[in-house]
């Protein structure tokens, strides 16, 4: 939005605010129920207020009030319209808050709430709220975004007598663009297929173990693993945890074409383990020109995304 | 013992043009190549009763049969493992003919490998399949080891370390192939030879492989007609007798990633093929006047020469030095320019060149060729042929 448009919007909102302030107090819908003991009970239970003057008739009779009174802080409760009845009587605030919404100030946060209780309420009194807009200021730049502070006052009447007042102020703001916060990591695109024969390896990697299949009968080690021992036909599979060291048996440095998920150039090696099997993995943590046959490595583990961990290999001395 | 040797022949060859964008479907390419091969043999589609292709081919046998007007089929099969299937298709066809399962079998391979799905591009889905091949790939793909060049480079590095071969040694293969292609009008690189310096200066694909160590990507199709040697003698063309046909897979074999067996400096599966070919044909390396050696990547040309017994282990770099595999060398290899120079039709175009050499009709004819050896894709379970003059 251009600055010109922004300033004409400001004029429009300010004019609307002044008009609504001039409207003065507008009476709302009377409370559905008179001040009553069951609602007081619910409220004091919920708030943990144990004062017996609100609920114990005998106690209250002996108090300065001479009868049960309602907790003053409960004032809003009596005339809250509830969700289903929210569109009751009009309020002078409707046009202002609606105009702010329409112009992108869709965020709302209550900033001030001050209540004044003129007297205690007695059972059976029926309250009527009345609202008047008292102020609007802005635009203000806040941590939440640019917005307008809007203030109004509600007065509760019992008959013609004002019994309580509440000043309420909100900030209506334009939500900031979402910061590029560290979102859930994009899934690494190069995923292994895992099945019953290989799950132990990938489970191990997640736990920081380099597991090598070991035949449960003849003890032969095997990588990559498979369901049947080629030496003794056993399907009794176990595994050992490798020492995590190895030596480059062969390697490549991939330049072209680009590979999804990995920045080129990168090194991949066939690594001979002291346990007597070979495994393929990336050599990382050193300049590519240092990678060579015979290079001594140790394993490390890298989280590729929220689910996949891959074993990686770094120079032994590092 | 019953032998397949000498019972069958390649009686016809056909191909489309080799391009980077054929502009038509793979099925149309297949049909065109099959028509060309049948025309070459002087046969009509109605005389064909068998079809063989690669498992990787996207054109079903029945689709090709419908398209070219082949009626009843009594034999159809597919050969697995990528380019390793090439000579295997002829082997399957020859076995079918020799056993009477079929009388005339057409082998075909058709793809838009450049304008369609490119084998050299990383496919993140390779490791995602819970098939046995997907499980194999899952030990490699997560680390970005996922292109044919990278898989071959892993072997090449170990080969260089073991035998002291250099990138220049690999480059000499590329130079020879491009020299041959330069005088082959059907070759994509017709008229475009390269020097060893250009090879060395070409960009890295996957160290230790340069761009010019890698074969090109092509659209096109090749088809071959296999029938009995007896029948072939009555057809238009001089028969290229199938003296031997063999498939081979080695211990600890994987698709391109056999990194876990004892030695990474050879190609045991090609050793299996070689032993099968020599035994079946009764011939020896010295009896070959030319060879078609699968050249998707230069390093494996060296390994194959060693596995097949043309030279000792680690000696291929000396064998290919000084133009040893060029047309005037001691073993002319890929006179058509191979897949590095002519086109990458998954090895089928090499078989067609072998037939031309036997017939004496190649544009780069190598004198009189009595016997020519042909190999298929390497790094995978593979296959081979020896074709001979009648």
Q: Worst-scoring range by mean pLDDT, A149-153, B130-134, B225-229, B293-297?
A: B130-134
End-to-end CA distance of chain B: 22
* DSSP code, position B361: -
Q: Worst-scoring range by mean pLDDT, A77-91, A221-235, B17-31, B176-190?
A: A77-91
Look at residue A150 and give its three-state secondary structure.
Answer: strand
Give residue A78's domain range: 3-173
Residue B269: pLDDT above 50?
A: yes
Is residue A117 within 8 A of residue A129, CB to CB? The reply is no
A67, part of any domain: yes
Q: Which residue of B has its CA nearest to A312?
A: B143
A181, part of any domain: no
A192, part of any domain: no
CATH number, domain containing residue A286:
2.40.50.840
Look at residue B25 and give its three-state secondary structure.
Answer: coil
Number of residues written out for chain A = 318
Tokens of B18: 């080799």
Prediction ipTM score: 0.96
Tokens of A219: 């003890």
Based on the domain organization, do A156 and A210 belong to the same domain? no
A184, part of any domain: no
> Which pLDDT belongs to residue B184?
98
Based on the domain organization, do A25 and A136 belong to the same domain? yes
Nearest to A281 by CA among A270, A297, A293: A270
Q: In Å, how far is A148's CA from the nearest CA of chain B?
A: 51
> Which pLDDT belongs to residue A179?
58
CATH number, domain containing residue A61:
3.10.129.10
Q: What is the pLDDT of residues B34-61, one digit of tens each?
A: 999 999 999 999 999 999 999 999 999 9
Mutate: best of A187, A188, A189, A190, partner B, most B CBs <10 A: A190
Of A252, A265, A266, the CB nearest to B153: A252
Tokens of B333: 């290899």
CB contact under 8 A, A250 and B128: no
Report the DSSP beta bridge partners of residue A122: A69
Based on the domain organization, do A226 and A154 belong to the same domain? no
Residue A1: pLDDT above 50?
A: no
A191, part of any domain: no
Based on the domain organization, do A19 and A139 belong to the same domain? yes
Based on the domain organization, do A84 and A216 belong to the same domain? no
Mutate: best of B126, B143, B167, partner A, most A CBs <10 A: B143
CATH number of B8-113+220-388: 3.40.47.10
Q: Sort out which chain B residues have CB atoms less than 8 A from A278's CB and list them.
A: 259-260
User: What distance in Å separates the CA atoms of residue B123 and residue A290, rounded to the nearest whole number?
Assistant: 29
> Average of pLDDT values for A265-269?
98
A193, part of any domain: no
Q: Which residue of A has its CA nearest to B129?
A: A193
pLDDT cut 90: percent of chain B above it: 96
Per-chain mean pLDDT for chain A? 90
Sheet harboring A127-141: ordered strands across? A26-27, A127-141, A146-158, A161-173, A107-117
Of B129, B147, B157, the CB nearest to A193: B129
Contacts of B230 (CB under 8 A, 6+ apart): none
Residue A28: pLDDT above 50?
A: yes
C-alpha count within 13 angstroms, C-beta hemisphere, residue B324: 16
> Which pLDDT belongs to residue A89?
65
Active site residues of B: 294, 344
> Average of pLDDT values for B72-82?
97
Is residue B359 within 8 A of residue B61, CB to CB? The reply is no
Based on the domain organization, do A11 and A63 belong to the same domain? yes
* DSSP code, position B280: H
Based on the domain organization, do A145 and A208 belong to the same domain? no
Tell me how far CA of residue A286 lies from CA of A281, A315, B73, in angstroms. Answer: 14, 7, 60
Based on the domain organization, do A230 and A292 belong to the same domain? yes
Give the number of other CB atoms < 10 A from CB of residue B186.
18
Q: What is the pLDDT of residues B342-361, one digit of tens each?
A: 999 999 999 999 999 999 99
User: What distance in Å separates the CA atoms of residue A302 and residue A309, rounded to the nearest whole number?
Assistant: 5
Which residues of B make CB contacts under 8 Å with A?
Answer: 120-122, 124, 127-131, 134-147, 150, 153-155, 157-158, 161, 203-208, 211, 257, 259-260, 264
Based on the domain organization, do A228 and A286 belong to the same domain? yes
Based on the domain organization, do A144 and A244 belong to the same domain? no
A182, part of any domain: no
Nearest to A133 by CA among A25, A14, A27: A25
pLDDT band at A182 (very low <50, low <70, confident <90, very high): low
Nearest to B39 by CA among B235, B231, B186, B230: B235
Based on the domain organization, do A18 and A154 belong to the same domain? yes
CB contact under 8 A, B158 and A190: no
Q: In Å, how far is A100's CA from the nearest CA of chain B?
A: 49
Q: Sort out which chain A residues have CB atoms less than 8 A from B150's CB and list them.
A: 252, 254, 268
A187, part of any domain: no
């Amino acid at each position: 939005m251009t600055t010109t448009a922004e300033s004409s919007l400001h004029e429009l909102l300010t004019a609307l605010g002044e008009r609504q302030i001039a409207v003065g107090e507008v009476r709302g819908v009377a409370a559905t129920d008179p001040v009553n003991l069951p609602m007081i009970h619910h409220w004091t239970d919920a708030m943990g207020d144990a004062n017996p003057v609100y609920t114990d008739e005998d106690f209250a009779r002996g108090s300065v009030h001479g009868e049960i009174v309602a907790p003053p802080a409960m004032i809003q409760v009596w005339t809250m319209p509830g969700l289903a009845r929210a569109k009751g009587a009009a309020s002078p605030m409707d046009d202002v808050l609606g105009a702010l919404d329409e112009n992108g100030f869709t965020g709302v946060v209550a900033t001030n709430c001050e209540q004044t209780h003129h007297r205690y309420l007695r059972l059976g009194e029926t309250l009527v709220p009345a609202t008047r807009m008292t102020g609007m200021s802005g635009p203000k730049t806040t941590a939440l975004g640019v917005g307008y502070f809007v203030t109004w006052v509600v007065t509760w009447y019992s008959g013609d007598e004002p019994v309580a007042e509440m000043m309420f102020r909100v900030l209506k703001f334009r939500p900031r663009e979402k910061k590029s916060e560290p979102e859930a990591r994009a899934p690494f695109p190069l995923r292994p297929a895992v099945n019953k024969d290989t799950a132990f390896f990938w489970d191990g990697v997640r736990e920081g173990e380099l597991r090598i299949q070991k035949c449960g009968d003849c003890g032969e080690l095997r990588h990559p693993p498979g369901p049947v021992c080629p030496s003794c036909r056993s399907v009794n599979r176990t595994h050992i945890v490798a020492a995590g060291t190895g030596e480059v048996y062969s390697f490549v440095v991939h330049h072209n074409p680009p590979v999804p998920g990995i920045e080129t150039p990168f090194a991949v090696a066939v690594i001979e383990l002291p346990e007597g099997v070979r495994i393929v993995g990336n050599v990382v943590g050193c300049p590519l020109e240092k990678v060579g046959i015979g290079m001594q490595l140790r394993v490390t583990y890298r989280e590729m995304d929220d689910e996949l961990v891959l074993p990686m290999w770094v120079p032994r001395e590092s | 013992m019953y032998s397949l040797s000498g019972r069958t022949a390649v009686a016809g060859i056909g191909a489309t043009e080799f391009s980077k964008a054929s502009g038509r479907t793979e099925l149309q390419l297949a049909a065109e190549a099959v028509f060309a091969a049948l025309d070459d043999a002087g046969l009509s589609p109605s005389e064909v009763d068998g079809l063989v292709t690669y498992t990787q081919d996207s054109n079903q046998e029945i689709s090709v049969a419908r398209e070219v007007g082949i009626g009843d089929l009594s034999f159809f099969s597919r050969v697995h493992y990528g380019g390793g299937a090439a000579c295997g298709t002829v082997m399957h066809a020859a076995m079918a003919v020799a056993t009477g399962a079929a009388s005339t079998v057409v082998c075909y391979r058709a793809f838009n490998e450049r304008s369609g799905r490119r084998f050299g591009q990383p496919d993140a889905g390779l490791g995602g399949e819970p098939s046995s091949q997907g499980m194999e790939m899952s030990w490699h793909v997560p680390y970005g080891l996922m292109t044919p060049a990278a898989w071959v480079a892993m072997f090449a590095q170990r080969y260089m370390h073991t035998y002291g071969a250099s990138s220049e040694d690999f480059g000499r293969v590329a130079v020879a192939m491009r020299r041959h292609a330069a005088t082959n009008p059907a070759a994509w690189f017709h008229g475009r030879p390269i020097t060893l310096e250009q090879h060395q200066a070409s960009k890295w694909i996957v160290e230790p492989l340069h761009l010019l160590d890698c074969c090109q990507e092509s659209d096109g199709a090749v088809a071959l007609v296999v029938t009995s040697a007896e029948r072939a003698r009555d057809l238009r063309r001089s028969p290229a007798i199938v003296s031997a046909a063999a498939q081979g897979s080695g211990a600890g074999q994987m698709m391109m990633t056999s990194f876990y067996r004892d030695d990474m400096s050879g190609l045991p599966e090609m050793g299996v093929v070689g032993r099968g070919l020599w035994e079946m044909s009764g011939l020896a390396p010295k009896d070959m006047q030319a060879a078609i050696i699968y050249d998707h990547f230069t390093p494996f040309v060296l390994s194959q020469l060693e596995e097949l017994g043309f030279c000792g282990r680690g000696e291929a770099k000396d064998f290919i030095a000084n133009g040893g595999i060029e047309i005037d060398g001691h073993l002319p290899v890929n006179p058509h320019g191979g897949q590095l120079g002519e086109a990458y039709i998954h090895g089928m175009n090499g078989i067609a060149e072998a037939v031309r050499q036997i017939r004496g009709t190649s544009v780069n004819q190598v004198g009189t060729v009595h016997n020519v050896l042909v190999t298929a894709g390497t790094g995978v379970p593979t296959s081979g042929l020896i074709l001979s003059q009648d």
